[in-house]
Structure 1
């Protein structure tokens, strides 16, 4: 059995966290990951009703195993009730990332909640340690969804492990037991995994979106701000999004300033999301998407990571 700080802290069977994916991972997916022996997380979208947070937290908690919630730091100013609802739900782990988060660390910790944040540079990891988080996620540019694309996972992980004393998880491009074994061998306490769960039947992805994920290859993602600007979302500029490449992205990449003021493009994207037109609408995914080849349950995905122990044993015997 793979024993790390992460498994000991949360009584997990495997040092694996299912990343909080807003709009994809709700209480059902989080609960399924947790029930399978990892730690599942709910991703809270900006503007989500408090009632939704309460409902999804109850669903995740129904597994009887530890679970977590991911908050967007930049959105908390508009939705302060999100923090109150999360504290009231008492999840085992809360991630607050992508914007000013230092002021919410202590209230969460006082409530007995373990706190983390995602860092895309070594400086961000150092700042996280100074802010008092319990652990930090070294998130490389390969990762799906939002975050920096400045540094790839492996060089970032090595630098962060040398720079901080708190536990470190690795994120970005980890979708199989080989990836988990690699980051554990480097010194990470576990892996933070999102894209590997996109094909899961428990995710909230529509069937057309899931079909795009299953058909995508490792080179079919792009990183940028096109989809955020078209939606008028106030994501900080340094945190672009990695998504599957499509015609809408190709049309607007390099024309972001124009896009930010184009109301027709805004309406076009909104309509495409409603109709499921993914030549226009987005599907966030990381560079590991080529390893997601068929629909699976979350339990099957988690079980696939257990082979990391054998891989590490074999590597140690060489």
Structure 2
């Protein structure tokens, strides 16, 4: 049993990534009930009603669950974090921005904190006392983050510090992937894209269909979607999404992308209508392994096959 498992008390070393727009309370509860650690992904400006609606799914669980925030969204407004802390999460993940105030608030409430890292400088920050757990996210991962280091070298760097638990993230979508990162020193795996088509995941049917129809070569890392929507993501945090007509036009030509109010409204409408030719569908390279809509429990059941793989590998090298 790893130190992280002792801290949190889960059965399976599998966390669903806190994907805003996909990982709501229903998915988090299903993952936790299946033995993993369910994470709720919080949008930048959640309403009070949304927070309480998601938290009701997990509030009475006797298994660990957590909630993930964008650090820049909490820098000016800690109220969403305060609201979720009332429901006693096991873990708060805070990434992408100044995490200091939010991490202090979580610690005051007696809750463990985690931070995603994407390079060596991020790791240095995560070694401060206000962060308990390191999430080493490689550029293969879906959604926002850095695109500087791949999962395997970043995992090796993070594990070399020997002081804090490490969760590996980015491109992990099968039992073999989980076996690989656990053998590489991770305490657990942070799995996002594999859950995008889960029956409990939120999101329009068009988005799930796009995920199911895509493969390993069908993603792009770009800031184009954020620029078009005039979102306040810092330039170092682009996003990996499924390629579509919009990214085909602008991902490699950001200089020609004019961030107008008209485009922002057009993108907003596309997102509300789930027009996947224009709106972003954030997914990582593990989209290759999303082949059918399943329950979160069925996904966990597949992923827990890592134990047999590790045992077979050990025998091969005896």
Common fold: TM-score over 0.5? yes
How far apart are 1:257 and its partner, in Å? 4.5
Question: Could you say which residue in structure 1 is the equivalent of 2:96?
Answer: 98
Aligned mates of 1:122, 1:274 — CA distance in 2:
37
Question: Could you say which residue in structure 2 is the equivalent of 1:143?
Answer: 141
Aligned mates of 1:260, 1:157 — CA distance in 2:
37
User: Residue 70 of structure 2 contacts residue 95 of structure 2 at CA under 8 Å; is this kept in 1?
Assistant: yes
Question: Could you say which residue in structure 2 is the equivalent of 1:274?
Answer: 272
Larger deviation, residues 74-83 vs 88-97: 74-83
- SS of the equivalent of 1:296 reads coil
Question: Could you say which residue in structure 1 is the equivalent of 2:285?
Answer: 287
Question: Could you say which residue in structure 2 is the equivalent of 1:32?
Answer: 30
How far apart are 1:183 and its partner, in Å? 0.7
What is the count of residue pairs matched by the alignment? 316
After the TM superposition, list the runs of 4 or more consecutive aligned residues in structure 1 that deviate by more than 4 angstroms.
none
TM-score (norm 1): 0.95
How far apart are 1:8 and its partner, in Å? 2.0
User: 1:139-178 CA deviation, whole Å, 9 max, x = no partner?
Assistant: 0000000000100000110111113521111000011110
Structure 2 counterparts to residues 33-112 of structure 1, below 5 A = 33-112=31-110
- SS of the equivalent of 2:55 reads helix
User: Residue 247 of structure 1 contacts residue 279 of structure 1 at CA under 8 Å; is this kept in 2?
Assistant: yes
User: Residue 75 of structure 2 contacts residue 101 of structure 2 at CA under 8 Å; is this kept in 1?
Assistant: no
How far apart are 1:65 and its partner, in Å? 1.5
- SS of the equivalent of 1:105 reads helix
How far apart are 1:231 and its partner, in Å? 1.1
Question: Could you say which residue in structure 1 is the equivalent of 2:4?
Answer: 6
From 215, 222, 225, the counterpart of 2:223: 225
Larger deviation, residues 196-205 vs 161-170: 161-170
Aligned mates of 2:44, 2:188 — CA distance in 1:
28
User: 1:184-211 CA deviation, whole Å, 9 max, x = no partner?
Assistant: 1111101011011011010112111100
| Residue 164 (structure 2) pairs with residue 166 (structure 1) | yes
Question: Could you say which residue in structure 2 is the equivalent of 1:313?
Answer: 311
Aligned mates of 1:219, 1:4 — CA distance in 2:
35
User: RMSD of aligned C-alpha atoms?
Assistant: 1.4
How far apart are 1:260 and its partner, in Å? 4.7
Aligned mates of 2:262, 2:106 — CA distance in 1:
42
How far apart are 1:232 and its partner, in Å? 1.1
Aligned mates of 2:39, 2:292 — CA distance in 1:
22
How far apart are 1:66 and its partner, in Å? 1.1
Aligned mates of 1:115, 1:73 — CA distance in 2:
12
Structure 2 counterparts to residues 152-163 of structure 1, below 5 A = 152-163=150-161
Larger deviation, residues 244-253 vs 146-155: 244-253
How far apart are 1:258 and its partner, in Å? 4.5
Larger deviation, residues 56-65 vs 286-295: 56-65
Aligned mates of 2:109, 2:258 — CA distance in 1:
40
Against the structure 1 CA distance between its residues 311 and 112, is the aligned structure 2 distance closer, same or farther, given a 3 Å change threshold?
same
Aligned mates of 2:162, 2:215 — CA distance in 1:
35
Give unmatched runs, 5+ long, in structure 1. Answer: none
TM-score (norm 2): 0.95
